[in-house]
Structure 1
């Protein structure tokens, strides 16, 4: 199951304005403000976002790889994902561990063979077993 995806935009402000209007009929609003990245999610009274728009590092830069986060049931599953992905030929992009994004966020990051940033995450929405 997908947890969230990040779209990298050449003009983040323009894209954020576009998605704020385009996704409104679907009930999506800007929720997570990790400036300059903005997370969108359903207007459900929670801070949960599942679609992020983030700028490319430099204007005119070749698009950066896609970021896809898969939801894990617990921290052991995150560690199992990381081990399996590395064994399958992935490249470490962040060993399993807590992240400062918000309390309870535990994730691992691996680059796939094309350099896409693949994440497994369990966070405050899911049971955390340490």
Structure 2
């Protein structure tokens, strides 16, 4: 199951104005801004209803145009995803571990696929 998705954008203010307006009738709103110290200075914001699941991120030299996160059933599954992806030719983009700047139990791992897309497995449990 897809947990969340991030699109790379070139104009943060233009894109957020668009999505603020377009999503409002659907009950989807901006819920979270990632502190820039965790994003190499890029502005990143998350939209959703109860939790953010649609993200926008300024593109920069280290951030591509697409990020997809898949829901894992455990921390061990996140670890296994990361190991399998690296063995299959992926590139490490964030070892398995806690990401408390999202929430205290956010446990994720990131790899770049052969085309440079950022693929993540995430477990939200304790």
2:39 counterpart of 1:38: no
How big is the alpha-carbon RMSD for the aligned residues of Structure 1 and Structure 2?
Answer: 1.6
Structure 2 gap segments, 5+ residues each: 36-42
Shift of residue 57, structure 1, vs aligned partner: 2.4
SS, match of residue 7 in structure 2: strand
CA distance in 2, matches of 1:65, 1:111: 12
Matched positions, count: 117
Structure number, greater radius of gyration: 1
Per the alignment, residue 40 of structure 2 pairs with none
Q: What does 1:35-114 align with in structure 2 at a 5 Å threshold?
A: 36-42=43-49, 44=50, 48-57=51-60, 64-101=64-101, 102-114=103-115
Quote the residue 2:29 is aligned against: 29
Q: Distance in 1 between matches of 2:22 and 2:119?
A: 26
What TM-score comes out, normalization by structure 1 length?
0.83
* CA distance in 2 between partners of 1:84 and 1:57 (Å): 27
Report the equivalent of 1:5. Answer: 5
CA distance in 2, matches of 1:111, 1:64: 10
Gaps of 5+ in 1: none
Q: TM-score, normalised by structure 2?
A: 0.85
Asked whether the equivalents of residues 9 and 65 of structure 2 are also in contact (C-alpha less than 8 Å), the reply is: no
**C-alpha displacement of 1:94:** 1.1
Between the aligned partners of 1:37 and 1:21, the Cα distance in structure 2 is 18
**Following the alignment from structure 1 to structure 2, what is the Cα–Cα distance between the partners of residues 122 and 13?**
31
